[in-house]
């Protein structure tokens, strides 16, 4: 990854080396500015607000899809407001109810300049912050105007051993009552193929960070096994088997204060659509701590989109207008997750 170092002081550039570990391995940073207690980043995929939670440890607090990004407005000498179009549960631009015209719902965030450290000039720090933030929307437009984007999904082939070692055994046992740990049952193999993505205890049910045993994806679709796992004991086990062609969207309403991912799909082609809330929340242990990006709940929608692209060849995106919009405004080409 690369970034525009001229927007960072030398000390901030050094600190960003720690912060950027939270970003996805296939993100290319195009813009970064230091903000109070963190960084604001524009990558080739999204806008990211990163907050320091303890010394040299960062958390992704908010993510805005670039297609939703509306701009930056200076509010005071030490702060700006970043605005974006809100999304609905299908990942579509949301409308103000009963407005009579096409009027998008918007959401904004206030960002403050970093505090001046001992010996630094506070006014100069604020001027530098304002100058940097005044340039970020041009970077967003440049990224959105790119003709093509190909996502490097090779990082999905390297997952923590602690979250993969029992995956084959679990999916064989739960789906086919076949407790074998070193090869997939023929029915599972037919659906997922010979090189599936297998990850345990990561994709959860709604906001329940313990409910979710296994997520497996492959050639035809994905299998998600719901339930609670304690050692080798499992309870409340249910299995969802969804084909790629029957998925409408992986959507995250970025404006909300949670990390819920709403997956809308049908069990059968032309069947009734269901919306299932999920959360990306891998079990944290010493092994998984070596993958700081994996532990970020707000990376979940992009990880799922990369999984779908790698195994189906299809980009995950949503329609940016509803069919009832007869004269939608001219908008940039949409690509929420890819």
DSSP 112-124: EPPPPPTTS-HHH
CA separation for the pair 79, 316 (Å, rounded): 34
Q: Is 276 helix (H, G, I), strand (E, B) or coil?
A: strand
User: In the structure encoding, which two tokens stand for residue 111, read together?
Assistant: 């960002």
pLDDT at 149: 62
pLDDT at 265: 92
pLDDT tens digits, one per residue of 217-257? 999 999 999 999 988 889 999 999 999 999 988 889 999 98
Residue 174 and residue 225 in contact, taking contact as beta carbons nearer than 8 Å = yes
pLDDT at 248: 85
146-150, 153-157, 304-308: lowest mean pLDDT where?
Answer: 146-150
pLDDT at 5: 40
Q: Environment class of residue 136 by beta-carbon count within 10 Å: exposed (0-12), middle (13-18) or buried (19+)?
A: buried
Dump strand ranges (E) for the chain: 29-35, 38-43, 46-54, 57-65, 69-76, 79-85, 106-112, 197-200, 203-205, 214-217, 221-230, 233-243, 247-251, 260-266, 273-280
pLDDT at 101: 61
Q: How confident is the model at residue 147 (pLDDT cuts 50, 70, 90)?
A: low
- Mean residue pLDDT across the chain: 87
CA separation for the pair 100, 338 (Å, rounded): 33
Share of the chain above pLDDT 70, in %: 89
The sheet that has 79-85: what strands, in order across it? 69-76, 79-85, 106-112
First to last CA, the chain: 17
Q: How confident is the model at residue 320 (pLDDT cuts 50, 70, 90)?
A: very low
pLDDT at 205: 95
pLDDT at 334: 47
pLDDT at 322: 35
CA separation for the pair 279, 276 (Å, rounded): 10
């Amino acid at each position: 990854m690369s970034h525009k170092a001229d927007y960072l002081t030398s000390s901030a550039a050094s600190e960003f080396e720690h912060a950027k570990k939270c970003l996805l391995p296939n993100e290319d940073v195009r813009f970064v500015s230091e903000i109070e207690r963190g960084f604001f980043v524009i990558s080739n995929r999204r806008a990211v607000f990163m907050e320091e939670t303890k010394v040299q440890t960062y958390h992704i607090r908010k993510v805005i899809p670039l297609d939703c990004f509306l701009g930056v407005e200076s509010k005071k000498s030490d702060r700006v407001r970043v605005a974006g179009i809100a999304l609905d549960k299908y990942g579509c631009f949301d409308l103000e109810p009963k407005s009579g015209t096409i009027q998008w719902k918007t959401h904004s965030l206030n960002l403050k300049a970093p505090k001046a450290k001992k010996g630094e000039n506070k006014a100069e720090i604020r001027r530098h912050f304002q100058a940097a933030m005044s340039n970020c929307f041009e970077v967003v437009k440049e990224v959105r105007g790119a003709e093509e984007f190909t996502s490097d999904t090779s990082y999905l082939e390297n997952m923590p051993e602690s979250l993969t070692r029992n995956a084959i055994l679990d999916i064989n046992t739960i789906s086919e009552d076949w407790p074998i740990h070193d090869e997939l049952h023929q029915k599972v193999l037919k659906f997922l193929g010979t090189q599936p993505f297998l990850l345990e205890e990561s994709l959860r049910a709604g906001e329940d960070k313990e409910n979710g045993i296994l997520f497996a994806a492959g050639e035809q679709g994905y299998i998600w096994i719901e339930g609670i796992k304690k050692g080798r004991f499992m309870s409340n086990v249910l299995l969802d088997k969804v084909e790629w062609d029957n998925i409408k969207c992986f959507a995250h309403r970025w404006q909300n204060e949670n990390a819920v991912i709403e997956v809308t799909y049908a069990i059968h082609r032309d069947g009734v659509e269901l919306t299932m809330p999920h959360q990306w929340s891998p079990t944290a242990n010493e092994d998984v701590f070596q993958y700081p990006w994996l532990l970020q709940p707000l990376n979940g929608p992009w990880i799922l989109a990369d999984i779908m692209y790698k195994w189906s060849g299809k980009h995950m995106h949503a329609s940016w207008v509803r069919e009832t919009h007869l004269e939608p405004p001219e908008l940039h080409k949409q690509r929420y997750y890819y």
